[in-house]
Structure 1
C-alpha cells in the first residue's frame, strides 16, 4: 500500500509517497525556470511553495537528444519529457524523522544527455539508512557555452550555468534536507563521468565548498574542462557562424534543437562535445588541473576509474570524440611538446587495444592519479580504486568500459535493460561484487572511510583497490606508464 507522507521544509510544504522501506519525493523544483531572457543566466532559487507540492513524479529533463524512443524510455523508467524548465531534484529517504547522512549524486552524460531519474535511490537509501538525492541541471549549450566570454558584461549569460545549477541544488539540500530526515552537515557529493567532473569543480570552487563534507569521483576530473583560450576561440567561431555580429538576441529565439544544430554547423574544428565546461578565471582560476587539485576543499575522497574507459568512445557512437592514435598524440603534444608526446605514444600499440589503453590513460586514468596524488599530498584521506569487472551481454566486447560501475552501484540503473551491461544469466559473483561496492560507498557516506579492508592512498605507495570478481589491493598498479605521464597536465583542447 502506498501511503502519503507530508512534511514542511524551508521550501514549503511537500507531499511524498512511501514505497516499501523508502519515502520518495520526486521532481521538486529547486530553481526558477531558466527560460526566456534567463535561459543562459545564473539560476535563481525557487520561491517557497504557496500550496503543498505533490512530489509524485520526476521532473522534465533538460532538452537533449533522445537515447531511445519514448515508449521504450518509459519502460526503462527514463524521463521522456524534456523542457527548459528542468531545475528539479529527487529525494529518497528511509524516514523523514532522524538525522541521516546524505548522498547527492550528479548524473553524467557528457554534459549533453542524462537525468537524475536514471539513478533511483531506493536501494541505497534502504540499504545504508541514508538520504539519497539526484538532480537535473541545464545541459548542452543551455548550460555550457562560451557566450559569457563573447558578450562580457551581459548578465543574461553565466559561464558554466549548468554547474551553477548544481550548486543551487546543493544549497537547497543544505537548507531543506533536515525536513527529509537528513543531516546537512554530513553531505557527500558524488558523480560519474560528467558528474565526476562536476564534483571536481565543486571541490575547487569556493562558492560550492560550504555545501558538502565528503566527495566521490567516478571517471572524470578537471582535465575535461576547456581552457579559457579554447573557449574564447569556440565563442568567436559561434559568433561568426551563428550570425551574432550585431548582438546575442538571436540566441533567445532559437529552439534548443535549432540552437544545437546552428552551433554544430558554426564550429568545424573541435574535439568531442562543443558544450563543455570551461575555465572562466572567476569561479575557476587560471592554474592547471594539478595545481587546482592541491587547493581543493580538504575532505575525504573516493576517486577512481574503470580499466577500459575509452572503449565506450571507440566502439559506441554516443558521444563524438576523435579516437585515433594520431589525434591523441597531438593532444599530448599540446600539453607537453612533440618529444614527450612521441615518447608517450610509443607506450601504446596502434591497434584497437592500444588505442583504448591510450585514450583511457589520456582522458581518465592519468588525470585521476594526478588528482589523487595532489589531494593526498595536501593531507586529505583519499581512497583510490580501479574497476576491472567486464561488462556482459551486448557490451561484453568493451571490457571494463566507461559507465560499467553504474549498474553495480545503483541496483535499478537501466532496469529493465540492465542486461546491456550485466547479461541475461544470473551471476552470483557479480552480485557479490555489486554488494561489496555499494557497502564501501555507503560506509564512506556514513563515516568518511570505505572500510578497514580498503587502505588510504598515499602518493608514495599509490595503494589502490582493484574491484573485480575477487578484489585485491595493489600498490601503484599503473607504475610503468604513470612514470612517463608524470607532470603532463592540461585542459581539453
Structure 2
C-alpha cells in the first residue's frame, strides 16, 4: 500500500513538472484541491489565453438513497481528475438552451452537482476577485454550462465560477412537516446545493488564482432570487462579500399580500403540493418516510412527467420556501427588518423583463383580443377580489386603443413585467439601501441581432451576454449577433460589473458616467443603453399603484354593489349619484302627497268654492 501511494505521488509530481515547463498554450495545469488534483484545458478569447476547469464535482452524486437528501461533500479521489468538459445538467425538460448538442451538458443526469472555473492565472499568488454565477430558469430549467465565463474573466482579470444545482422537484419539493428535525424531505435542497458550492469555492479558489475573501455571487431571474436567499441563509454566511441581483428578486412583497394579488409561500402549501405529487405517483402510504422511499424508486422521467402535470397550478412545488431551518424567514419580512448578511448590493431589471411571458400565449404575434386580456388578467390573480382585478385591468388598459389586440398584448406584457419583476425590484432596492450600499440599474437596450421576437422588446436575460462579454467574442452556441455599437456598450457593462466584483463599487476610471448609490431619498439608477444616463424614481406611478393604492382598495369595506347585467367588465357600486337620484324620487313623492293633502283641506274649508269634475 505504501509503495502504491509513493508511486502515485511520484506520477502526480512528474505530471505537475511537465505542465509547468510546457508552453502555456499547450498546458493543462494540474491544480490541487482539498479533495484531489484536477487538470483543465485552455480557451482562447480575443488572443487571450484562459484556463478552464469544467465539471469539477463539489458534492457526492445525489442518486439512489441520496435522492431528496441535502448535498453531501464530495469524497476525495486518487490521481488527477480530468476536468476538461462540462458534465451533465440536472434533470429538466429538454433541450437545454445555449448548450452544445454534442456535449454531455446538453443531456440530463441526477449525477449533476458540478462547477466550472474560468481563470487567467491558476496560481495561488494571483489574488483575483471571484464571481460565482447562479443560472436562472424558474427553478425548473438551466445549467451552469449555459453561460460561459471566459470572456468576463479575461477582460476584467477575475475568476468566474458557474455551478449546477438541482432544479424541479428533485431540488425544491419538500414533505413540509413543521418540525425540521422530523422533516423527511428538507426544503430548499437546490439552495443547499448552491451553498455547498459556495463553500467549495471559498475553500479551494485560491489555488485557481482567486481571493477567497473577495467572492461576489450573481444570478439572473431564479438565479437572482437564489442570490437573495443566500443573504438570509445561515449556511451561506461569510461565503461572499457582494451580491448582484439581475432581474431578481421577484415574487411576493408585503403590498401584494395586503392586496390579495399574491400569497406567501408557506410550508403548509408546500406540504399540500407534496401530497398531490405523491398521489399522482401512486406513492400513497400512511407514513411519510414510506412515501419518500416509494418516490426514490421512480425514474427521473416519471418524476418530470408528474412535475409537468402539477406545476402550472402548483408553482410552490418547485420553489424555495421559508422553512424555519435552511431559510429561517421569508425575504419580505427578513430584509425590511435588516435580518440579512450585510454586503454591497447591485440590482436591476431589463426594461421589458416580463414580456417573456407573451410568446407562450396563443397567437401572440398578432395580439390578444380584449376578452382574452381580461380573462388572462383575472386568472393571473386568483386570490384577489373582483374590484382589485378591475383596478388592474383599468390601470393597464390603453384606453385610446382598448380593442387593439396588439395594444392588449403589450399592455399585458407591461402588467406582467411590473408585477413580477419591476415592482419587487424597486421594493427591495428601497429596503436594502437602508442598510447597505446599493446600486440599481435598468438595462434598456434591445440587441440588434437578437434571437428573441420583436414584440418582447428589451427582453428577459438580454443583459446577460453583455455582462459576460459575448459581443467581444461570442460563443458559437449563443444565437444572437451584435453590431459595433453593442461592442462598445458591452465594454462599458463589463467595466461596471468588473469594478463591482473587484471593489464593491461599480464605477471606475473607464466608466462613461458615475453610477451613484441608490437611496430612498433620491432613488437614482443607471440607465444602461448606448446613451448612458442617471435617472430617478423609476416607475413611480405604477409603484404607488401596487404598493399603496391596491392595498388600500382591498382593505376598504364596500356595503353594497350592483351586479353586472351584461358582459360589461365594469363593476358598478352604488355611487353618490345613485344615492342622489333615489333621494330626489323620495322627496318628490312626499311633496306630491303633501300637495294632495293640502288641496283636500283647502276644499273642505272652501267647500262651496270647489268644483268637482264628474
Call closer, same or farther: CA 1:330–1:390 in 2, change over 3 Å.
Answer: same
Tell me what 2:503 maps to. Answer: 447
Q: Give the 5 Å matches for 1:181-260.
A: 181-221=209-249, 223=251, 226-246=265-285, 247-248=290-291, 249-260=293-304
For 1:126 and 1:268, the matched residues in 2 are separated by 40
> Do the aligned residues in 2 keep the contact of 1:196 with 1:216 (CA within 8 Å)?
yes
Structure 1 unmatched ranges of 5 or more: 318-322
Call closer, same or farther: CA 1:63–1:14 in 2, change over 3 Å.
Answer: same
SS in 2 for 1:357: helix
Call closer, same or farther: CA 1:365–1:76 in 2, change over 3 Å.
Answer: farther
Which of 113, 122, 127 is matched with 1:96 structurally? 122
Tell me what 2:542 maps to. Answer: 481
> Do the aligned residues in 2 keep the contact of 1:109 with 1:193 (CA within 8 Å)?
yes
Q: Give the 5 Å matches for 1:151-190.
A: 157-190=185-218
SS in 2 for 1:473: strand
Which of 379, 389, 395 is matched with 1:347 structurally? 395
Q: Give the 5 Å matches for 1:86-485.
A: 86-97=112-123, 98-149=126-177, 157-221=185-249, 223=251, 226-246=265-285, 247-248=290-291, 249-265=293-309, 267=310, 270=313, 274-287=317-330, 289=332, 291-292=334-335, 294-316=338-360, 326=375, 328=377, 334=383, 339-349=387-397, 351-378=408-435, 380-392=436-448, 393-395=450-452, 396-412=454-470, 415-416=475-476, 418-419=478-479, 421-422=480-481, 426-451=482-507, 453-485=514-546
> Do the aligned residues in 1 keep the contact of 2:30 with 2:38 (CA within 8 Å)?
yes
Tell me what 2:41 maps to. Answer: 17
Tell me what 1:320 maps to. Answer: none
Shift of 1:284: 2.3
Shift of 1:273: 7.6
Aligned residue pairs: how many?
476
For 1:476 and 1:355, the matched residues in 2 are separated by 22
SS in 1 for 2:395: coil
TM-score of the pair, normalised by structure 2: 0.72
SS in 1 for 2:145: helix
> Do the aligned residues in 2 keep the contact of 1:74 with 1:80 (CA within 8 Å)?
yes
For 2:425 and 2:236, the matched residues in 1 are separated by 21
Structure 2 unmatched ranges of 5 or more: 1-24, 253-263, 362-371, 403-407, 509-513, 552-614
Which of 68, 74, 77 is matched with 1:46 structurally? 74
> Do the aligned residues in 2 keep the contact of 1:40 with 1:143 (CA within 8 Å)?
yes
Tell me what 1:84 maps to. Answer: 110
Shift of 1:74: 2.4
> Do the aligned residues in 2 keep the contact of 1:119 with 1:412 (CA within 8 Å)?
no
Tell me how large the CA RMSD over aligned residues is.
Answer: 2.8
Check if 1:3 corresponds to 2:27.
yes
> Do the aligned residues in 2 keep the contact of 1:14 with 1:54 (CA within 8 Å)?
yes
For 1:94 and 1:25, the matched residues in 2 are separated by 11
For 2:184 and 2:456, the matched residues in 1 are separated by 43
Rg larger in structure: 2
> Do the aligned residues in 1 keep the contact of 2:55 with 2:114 (CA within 8 Å)?
yes
> Do the aligned residues in 2 keep the contact of 1:328 with 1:359 (CA within 8 Å)?
no
> Do the aligned residues in 2 keep the contact of 1:88 with 1:136 (CA within 8 Å)?
yes
Shift of 1:410: 2.0
For 1:64 and 1:302, the matched residues in 2 are separated by 30
> Do the aligned residues in 1 keep the contact of 2:86 with 2:104 (CA within 8 Å)?
no
Call closer, same or farther: CA 1:243–1:68 in 2, change over 3 Å.
Answer: closer
> Do the aligned residues in 2 keep the contact of 1:25 with 1:56 (CA within 8 Å)?
yes
